[in-house]
């Protein structure tokens, strides 16, 4: 019997507003602090690096924030994204569980990150910004911002972690194709980069270092602002289009998720899928199990400490209350480059502290086995980052089989892995190791 496995919304059913969990937290989010005075920073302190509309979104406790028409027009290039039921994976696992996934890999840059790069470029454009500076790890965020900047006529200057700049040439080429300037970080473009290169010309870079360089670039160039692809409240806000769509699509499927999984680097695709469901959990007292999945080698939520810490290595950012491994933590070079960040979104951290969500960590060899199983049953090649969510969802489906329970599982497939094939090659040839 053939079964509907794809749940598609019409353009008219796409969200007109983003959802803000800061309106509904049972306890307010601890504010960012000035590192010098240890006092809460006001919105004016952020004005050097962010445009006013994004600062407003960063601090607002308004529940619904309107998505501008210009942004919705561009979202329409790939949104609404499909919700799929993974019946072939269910069959391979011989599980009574129903497994659904929201697929964000169909965007032009291949991941969810364009859901925020587009509004960030838009709000900068209308605020008079001419140029954006940013950092990127494996290149997903840099390419997403490059695309959005080109569509709104902004210059884009990207600091790319050196080891990825050398080993991930395709996303660098994507950025070039979309007209961005890309520097291997640490670079000779900033004082901080030059200092690090003088100490060690072979410094491979890290996300924390690249953030420091992008922030320094911002404050030393006219008409330039900074853009961050994860962690901050306004980024979590923009990504909620994922969960708002998914909720309607689950209704179309006639089911409600018992357990929801998404991978976490800085927390944005997780927040995007789950925050609207957390809203339901808070307001309707639902028991949904909501799980953030991280790599065992960069375990900020499962092994980190909840405290104030810097977002970057050079200590240039405000202090954020978050689960952190310490801002000098150098994550080992694993294949899920997008999950190598020492900290975690303050909003996601707060949700964990309040018991609204849970966290799990897994080693990369197990992750790639699940990625391969998914590719061989559902056909789509997942990003190594997204494969963390797949792996945790599979564990849940196996538990459901063992318990003979019909569970409904939902996960976020945050991106495709077509530019990560060398990682698959390492995994297939047995070269992958747990670090």
Would you say 189 or 206 has its CB closer to ligand PLP? 206
Question: Residue 264 CB, nearest distance to ligand PLP (Å)?
Answer: 5
Task: Tell whether residue 360 is a contact of ligand PLP (CB under 6 A).
Answer: no
Supply 88's token pair. 């072939």
Would you say 90 or 104 has its CB closer to ligand PLP? 104
Measure CA of the first residue to CA of the last residue in the chain; give whole Å. 45
* Stretch of residues binding ligand PLP (CB under 6 A), selected from 94-102, 266-274, 365-373, 398-406: 266-274
Give yes or no for a contact between 160 and 136, defined as CB atoms under 8 angstroms apart: yes
Chain mean position to CA 420: 17
3-class DSSP state of 292: strand
**Residues binding ligand PLP: what is the number (CB under 6 A)?**
19
Would you say 72 or 340 has its CB closer to ligand PLP? 340
Cα separation of 11 and 336, whole Å? 32
Site for ligand PLP in 400-429 (CB under 6 A): 414-415
Q: Name which position in 185, 268, 288, 297 contacts ligand PLP (CB under 6 A).
A: 268
Q: Name which position in 95, 111, 115, 120 contacts ligand PLP (CB under 6 A).
A: 111
Would you say 95 or 324 has its CB closer to ligand PLP? 324
Question: Residue 159 CB, nearest distance to ligand PLP (Å)?
Answer: 16
Question: Residue 259 CB, nearest distance to ligand PLP (Å)?
Answer: 19
Tell me which residue has its CB nearest to ligand PLP.
415
Torsion of CA 94, 262, 416, 204, to 10 degrees: -130
Q: Name which position in 14, 136, 189, 269 contacts ligand PLP (CB under 6 A).
A: 269
Cα separation of 272 and 269, whole Å? 5
Contact map string, positions 132 to 161, toward ligand PLP, x by CB under 6 A: --------x---------------------
Cα separation of 244 and 433, whole Å? 37
Contact map string, positions 382 to 401, toward ligand PLP, x by CB under 6 A: -x-xx---------------
| Backbone CA torsion sign across 58, 60, 65, 68 | negative
User: For residue 431, what are the contacts with CB-CB under 8 A and spacing of at least 6?
Assistant: none
Task: Tell whether residue 338 is a contact of ligand PLP (CB under 6 A).
Answer: yes
User: For residue 156, what are the contacts with CB-CB under 8 A and spacing of at least 6?
Assistant: 131, 132, 134, 145, 146, 149, 150, 175, 178, 179, 180, 181
Site for ligand PLP in 222-261 (CB under 6 A): 230
User: For residue 173, what are the contacts with CB-CB under 8 A and spacing of at least 6?
Assistant: none
Contacting residues toward ligand PLP, per CB under 6 A: 111, 113, 140, 230, 263-270, 338-339, 383, 385-386, 414-415
């Amino acid at each position: 019997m053939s079964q509907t496995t794809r749940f598609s919304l019409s353009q008219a059913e796409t969200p007109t507003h983003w959802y803000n969990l800061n309106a509904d937290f049972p306890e307010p989010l601890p504010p960012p602090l000035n590192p010098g005075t240890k006092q809460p920073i006001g919105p004016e302190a952020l004005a050097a690096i962010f445009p006013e509309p994004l600062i407003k979104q960063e601090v607002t406790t308004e529940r619904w924030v309107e998505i501008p028409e210009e942004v919705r027009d561009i979202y329409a290039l790939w949104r609404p994204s499909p919700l799929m039921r993974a019946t072939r994976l269910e069959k391979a696992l011989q599980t009574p569980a129903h497994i659904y996934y929201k697929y964000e890999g169909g965007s032009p840059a291949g991941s969810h990150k364009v859901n925020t790069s587009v509004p960030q470029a838009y709000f900068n454009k209308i605020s008079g910004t001419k140029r954006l500076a940013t950092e990127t790890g494996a290149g997903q965020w840099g390419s997403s911002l490059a695309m959005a900047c080109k569509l709104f006529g902004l210059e884009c200057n990207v600091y790319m972690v050196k080891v990825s700049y050398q080993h991930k040439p395709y996303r660098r080429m994507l950025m070039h194709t979309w007209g961005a300037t890309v520097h291997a970080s640490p670079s000779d473009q900033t004082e901080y980069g030059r200092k690090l290169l003088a100490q060690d010309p072979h410094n491979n870079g890290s996300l924390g270092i690249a953030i420091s360089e992008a922030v320094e670039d911002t404050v030393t160039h006219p008409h330039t602002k900074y853009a961050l692809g994860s962690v901050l409240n306004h980024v979590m806000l923009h990504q909620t289009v994922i969960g708002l769509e998914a909720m309607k699509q689950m209704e179309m499927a006639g089911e409600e998720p018992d357990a929801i999984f998404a991978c976490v680097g800085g927390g944005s695709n997780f927040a995007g899928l789950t925050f609207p469901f957390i809203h339901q959990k808070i307001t309707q007292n639902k028991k949904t199990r909501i799980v953030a999945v991280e790599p065992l080698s960069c375990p900020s939520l499962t092994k980190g400490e909840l405290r104030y810490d810097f977002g970057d290595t050079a200590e240039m950012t405000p202090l954020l209350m978050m689960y952190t491994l310490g801002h000098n933590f150098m994550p080992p070079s694993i294949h899920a480059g997008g999950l190598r960040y020492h900290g975690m979104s303050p909003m996601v951290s707060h949700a964990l502290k309040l018991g609204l969500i849970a966290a799990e960590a897994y080693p990369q060899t197990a992750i790639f086995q699940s990625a391969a199983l998914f590719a061989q049953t559902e056909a789509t090649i997942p990003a190594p980052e997204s494969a963390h969510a797949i792996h945790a969802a599979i564990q849940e489906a196996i538990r459901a089989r063992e318990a003979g329970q019909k569970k409904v599982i939902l996960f976020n497939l945050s991106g495709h892995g077509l530019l990560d094939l060398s990682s698959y090659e390492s995994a297939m040839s047995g070269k992958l190791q747990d670090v």
